[in-house]
Amino acid sequence: MNMTRALKRLALAGLGLAVFGGWAAAAPAANADLVQSASGFTIQTPPRVFLDCPGCNIAGLQKEIAFVEWVAAAGDAQVVIAITSEAAASGETVYKIQFRGQREFNGDDSSLDYTAGPEPNPDDLKAGLGRTLKLGLMRYVGKTPVAKRIDIALKDKVMPTSVVDPWNFWVFSLSLDGFFNGEASTKYRSIYGSVSANRTTLDWKIRLSANASSYKNVFKYEGEEIVSTSESRSFQGMIVRSLDDHWSVGGYLSVYSSTYSNYDVNARIAPAVEFDLFPYSQSTRHQLRFLYMIGFNLVRYQEETIFNKTRESLLAQSVDVTLDLNRKWGTASASLEGSHYLHDFKKNRVALTGEISVRLFKGLSFNIDGGGTRIRDQLNLAKGGATLEEVLLRRKQLATSYDYYFSVGLSFSFGSIRSNVVNPRFGTGGSSISISF
C-alpha cells in the first residue's frame, strides 16, 4: 500500500495520529513547483507555510516541524495557518487551528482543535500544538515528494470511545491575592479572593463564581490623615442548555454588593435564550448571535438615591447582537446591546463595541478597537454625591450620559521570507528601544 492511500484511510477513520519523522533537506529544481513528474507528485517542493499565532512560541513550533518551508509573509505561502484561542469554562484553553490553502492549494481548507489544560507547561503546550499542526499539514505534504520521508504511527492499539471522569467534568479554582505598598505619607492595600466551579459538556455549560475585594488608601497631609476605602462582594451563576446547532436556553443568577455602585444588595435572576444564525460548529469562522434576556432585580441601596429610593424591585430586558468573522483578510467582531427598565423605557442604555484587524499587504496589519455606551439608567446614584477624595480615587460612581474607549495601531514586519532557522544563543538579543508619547 502506498503512503498516500494509508494517509487517506487513517484520516477517514478519525483516529488520533502522532506524526513522526521529518524531511531531509534537498535542493528543489528552480521554478519546479508545478512540474508533473514521473512520480505523480504535482508540487515538487515542500509546502511553503505561514504561521499566524499571536502570543505563541512561533520559533519553537517551527523548529518542531522541519518538513515544510516556513515563510515570513502570508502572501508568499501556499498554506496559511491561523491559531486563535478561547477560554473554556473548565479553565482549559481551546486552540482553534485553521489551515487555509493558497496558490496551488487554493480551496483546500480545514480546521483542527487542540485543548490545553489550565496553566499548561510551555513544553507540553508546544508539543501538543506541534502534534496537531503536523496532523493538519499532512493533507498538503501528501501531495509533495516530502511524503516519501514521512512515517505515521498509531500510538494506542485501542482508542477509548468514552471518558471516565471522577470529577464529572467539574473544575474548581480558588485564588487569594494581596498587594501592599506605602511610604512616609501614603499607604495602600488591596485584597482580592475568588472561588469558582465550572462544568462544560456538549449539552450543558455551567459557571459559578464568588469573589470579594477590599481596597484602602491612607494619606497624611499637613497633620491630617485621610482614609478612603472601597469594598465589593459578588456571586454569579450561569447555566446554558444546548437545544441544537443554532438554539440555546439558559439563565443568570447574581448577588452583588459594592460601595462604589451604592449597592448594599442587588439580587438578580434572568432567563435567556440565544440564536446563532450560523451553526455553532462553524464558530471558528463566523458567528451571528442574538441573545435575549429578561431579568428581575431586588435592590437595597447603601445610601438614598437621587430618586429618593432606599430599596426597590426592578424588571429589565436586553437584546445583544454579536457578529464574529475570521476571513483571509483578517478578523472582525462587533456587538450591539440595548437594555431598558420596563417601568420606564426612558431608563435605558445602548452599547456598541467592535474590533478589526486587517492584513493590508505583506507584513502590514491595521488594527482598530473601540466602543461606546449611551447611559440613561443610573438609578443607583447616591443622593449625597461624592467628596473630592471619592472622585479623585474613583470610590463612588458618578453621573454620566456616556462612556467610550478607542485604540488604533499598525504592525509591520519585513525581510527574508525564508528565514526559518532557530538559533537560541544569547537569548532574544539583549537590548531594546521604546518610544512613548
Q: What's the pLDDT tens digit per position in 393-416?
A: 677 777 889 999 999 998 887 765
What is the band of 155 on the pLDDT scale with cuts at 50, 70, 90? low
Q: What is the average per-residue pLDDT within 154-178?
A: 73
The answer to whether residue 28 scores a pLDDT higher than 90 is no
- What's the pLDDT score for residue 24? 32
The answer to whether residue 419 scores a pLDDT higher than 90 is no
C-alpha cell at 173: 479554582
**291 and 274 in contact (C-beta within 8 Å)?**
yes
Task: Indicate the average pLDDT of the chain.
Answer: 80
SS (H, E, C) 285-305: CEEEEEEEEEEEEEEEECCCE
- What's the pLDDT score for residue 430? 45
Whose cell is 494506542? That residue is 156
Nearest one of 64, 96, 67 to 82, comparing CA atoms: 96
Higher pLDDT, 219 or 23: 219
Distance CA 212, CA 177 (A): 11
Torsions phi, psi of 117, nearest 5? Answer: -70, 170
Most confident range (mean pLDDT) of 5-19, 64-78, 322-336 is 322-336
Q: What's the pLDDT tens digit per position in 80-96?
A: 988 888 877 777 888 88
- What's the pLDDT score for residue 163? 62
The answer to whether residue 317 scores a pLDDT higher than 90 is yes
The answer to whether residue 192 scores a pLDDT higher than 60 is yes
Q: What is the average per-residue pLDDT within 154-167?
A: 59
- What's the pLDDT score for residue 6? 44
Higher pLDDT, 89 or 139: 139
Percent of the chain past pLDDT 70, that is, above it, reads 80
Whose cell is 532574544? That residue is 428
- What's the pLDDT score for residue 208? 95
- What's the pLDDT score for residue 434? 39
Cβ within 8 Å of residue 357, ≥6 positions away: 330, 331, 332, 365, 366, 367
Q: What is the average per-residue pLDDT within 155-164?
A: 51
- What's the pLDDT score for residue 64? 78
- What's the pLDDT score for residue 44? 67
Whose cell is 426597590? That residue is 312
Beta strand ranges found along 107-169 (DSSP E):
110-116, 150-153
Q: What is the average per-residue pLDDT within 245-262?
A: 93
Q: What's the pLDDT tens digit per position in 276-316?
A: 999 887 877 889 999 999 999 999 999 999 999 999 999 99
- What's the pLDDT score for residue 351? 96
- What's the pLDDT score for residue 418? 53
- What's the pLDDT score for residue 178? 95
Dihedral of CA 130/136/137/141: which sign? positive
**83 and 53 in contact (C-beta within 8 Å)?**
yes
- What's the pLDDT score for residue 383? 87
The answer to whether residue 148 scores a pLDDT higher than 80 is no
CATH number of 170-412: 2.40.160
Domain borders along the chain are 3-153, 170-412
